[in-house]
Amino acid sequence: MLGTFQSIFKIEELRKRILFTLGILIVYRIGGHIPTPGIDASVLSSFFGGQENNLLGMFDMFAGGAFMKATIFALGIMPYISASIIMQLLGAVIPFIQKLQKEGEEGRRKITQYTRYGTVAIASMQAYGTAMFLLNIANNNGQPAVVMESWLFIPLTILTFTCGTIFIMWLGEQITERGIGNGISMIIFVGIIARFPQAVVEVISGGDTDILRGFSNQIGINFIVEQLFMLSMMLLVIAAVIIVTRGQRRIPVQYPKKIVGRKVYGGQTTHLPLSVNSAGVIPIIFAQSIMFAPATVAQIFPNVEWMQNIISDWLRPGDLVYSIIYGTIIVFFAYFYTALVFNPIDLADNMRKNGGFIPGIRPGKRTAEYIERILTRITLPGALFFASIAILPWVLIEQIQVGYFFGGTGLLIIVGVALDTLQQVESHLLMRHYDGFMKKGRIRGRSY
């Protein structure tokens, strides 16, 4: 393993990509600590204390801890993800967008541009809702969190938060083009990882500001058993996610022999690998983005009582209704995104043009139907597995009172993004005849 890491820095292109990615992520983390003008940080800290395990805490995790600090990156990358979801859903029903999706690189650039416009619009609305939410925050003594006149604070906050989201979007695009890994996923990944030390301290101290005193108050056989159980569950989840992520259904494919001059081509038997989880962590991120939408609307209308009741009574993480909706959306996007990145018809046509066929299946339409049927069957257990992993840990959170960081969603994203990034590093190493991270088998990534 040590030799592998040494090989990484021997490849100039890979070394530059990794260092560039690290530099961008450092810039992102620095921006997450720049405060928004007009905010009293002490009032904000006292208000958000103990709210890590609700919807606000969940949103804060995706924002890398910037939301509860009301920094310039408070909205995170979620407005861009919401705009991407809308564009992909519109692509399934609007012929114009469908046409753009089939125009190759030029169409992709136009869709990306429309997604950016949508990001600006969504970020502006969320920024307005967040500004109204901040105006209503006060501590126990009635001291407001906003120390600026509302007529100045609202437009300034909208401009600040929107520009922050656009800048994060640009950082993510730079990582995708010039760095290593998927930029948007990497930004969410590093935001979750950055909260790990704080989450560990909170578990150890029990929320006490004096870590040693909090730890001494909690220490006992029950505390040790609970922490060992939680650690075991985390390790089991990580192992299960890796196994399912790398799981494949291999369909045998044969190619006939072709004689061209004095050379014989083809005549080999290979396989078509169909991943159990072709969509990766995208369904988790998309589903979480949609679950944030009602809370955003409620922030825009803080005085509408029935909206606040829905958020507090029905859409609270861990509740039955929330879990059912969240799990259903994950399953839906698993199928939806798999259909976007994997087209059985095009695959069957390419196989037919190259003379390949699946034994016992006629080339062309029958092959496409066969591949689609298998893909539909293997996607379901993978989607249900990830949905259950994302939902079930809330039971542990309620029972053991640990932070949301240790829930399933955070672990799913961390493990999925780490595997995809390692797969890209592995590809660079193998192209230059270096040994990869694994001596037997290779890390198989997914397309975004």
The domain that contains 272 carries what CATH number? 1.10.3370.10
Rounded to whole angstroms, how far apart are CA atoms 320 and 106? Answer: 44
Q: Which one of 179, 204, 230 terminates a domain?
A: 179
Same domain, 227 and 171: no
Q: How far is CA 201 from CA 55, 110, 195, 211, 408, in A?
A: 21, 46, 10, 7, 19
Q: What is the pLDDT of residue 436?
A: 53
Rounded to whole angstroms, how far apart are CA atoms 136 and 130? Answer: 10
Q: How far is CA 162 from CA 63, 94, 123, 302, in A?
A: 14, 28, 5, 21
Same domain, 222 and 175: no
pLDDT digits (tens, 9 = 90+) for 397-408: 554 445 555 556
Q: Which one of 126, 156, 179 terminates a domain?
A: 179
Q: Could you tell me the residue range of the domain that residue 97 belongs to?
A: 32-179
Same domain, 352 and 441: yes
Same domain, 263 and 412: yes
Q: What is the pLDDT of residue 158?
A: 93
Q: Which one of 156, 179, 202 terminates a domain?
A: 179
Same domain, 171 and 256: no
276 lies in a domain?
yes
The residues pairing with 312 across neighbouring beta strands, listed in sequence order, are none
Rounded to whole angstroms, how far apart are CA atoms 68 and 52? Answer: 9
Give the up-direction half-sphere exposure of residue 446: CA atoms within 13 A in the CB hemisphere: 28
Same domain, 424 and 369: yes
What per-residue string of b and e applies to 112-129 under the rule 16 or more CB within 10 Å gives b?
eebbeebbbebbbbbbbb
Contacts 24+ apart (CB under 8 A), 230-236: 230/396, 230/400, 230/402, 230/406, 233/393, 233/396, 234/406, 234/411
Under DSSP, the state recorded for 143 is: -
Contacts 24+ apart (CB under 8 A), 171-176: 171/24, 171/27, 171/28, 172/77, 172/80, 174/20, 174/24, 175/20, 175/21, 175/24, 175/25
244 lies in a domain?
yes
The residues pairing with 263 across neighbouring beta strands, listed in sequence order, are 260
Apex CA 411: angle with CA 406 and CA 415, to 5°? Answer: 155
Apex CA 365: angle with CA 363 and CA 371, to 5°? Answer: 85
Same domain, 64 and 124: yes
378 phi and psi, to 5 degrees? -80, -20
Same domain, 235 and 131: no
Rounded to whole angstroms, how far apart are CA atoms 136 and 302? Answer: 8
10 lies in a domain?
no
Same domain, 234 and 112: no
SS3 128: helix
Question: Which stretches in the chain have pLDDT values below 50?
Answer: 399-401, 440-448
237 lies in a domain?
yes
Same domain, 224 and 308: yes
187 lies in a domain?
no
9 lies in a domain?
no
Same domain, 348 and 221: yes
345 lies in a domain?
yes
Rounded to whole angstroms, how far apart are CA atoms 134 and 37? Answer: 12
pTM of the model: 0.80
Domains in the chain: how many in total? Answer: 2
Q: What is the pLDDT of residue 443?
A: 47
280 lies in a domain?
yes
Same domain, 140 and 271: no
Q: What is the pLDDT of residue 206?
A: 60
